[in-house]
Amino acid sequence: MAVSVHVECYAGYRGEETPRRIYLNDRRIEVVAVSDRWLGPDHRYFKVEGDDGHCYVLRHDSETLQWALATT
């Protein structure tokens, strides 16, 4: 079963988007901390901690503006 991923972000003063809220299908998860972030060849990655006690690695495609859960 495919998981639908939607991410709401905060754009800082430099326009850099930071995840604040994740929707996995119909489940809403508040981001309580961004513990890491890095750039890949064609994606940006964020390791975030949710208010549900889980860590998630989010992948953002800069060209299509699509978000996905990254597999580790």
The residue ranges of every structural domain in the chain are 5-69
Instruction: Name residues of the chain where pLDDT drops below 70.
Output: 1, 12-16, 71-72
Strand-strand pairing, 5-11 and 17-24: antiparallel
- Residue 13: the pLDDT is 64
Q: 34: exposed, middle or buried (C-beta count within 10 Å: 0-12, 13-18, 19+)?
A: middle
Token pair recorded at residue 36: 């890491």
Question: What does the DSSP 8-state code read for residue 3?
Answer: P
- Residue 8: the pLDDT is 93
- Strand 67-69's sheet: what is its strand order? 5-11, 17-24, 27-39, 43-50, 55-61, 67-69
- Residue 20: the pLDDT is 95
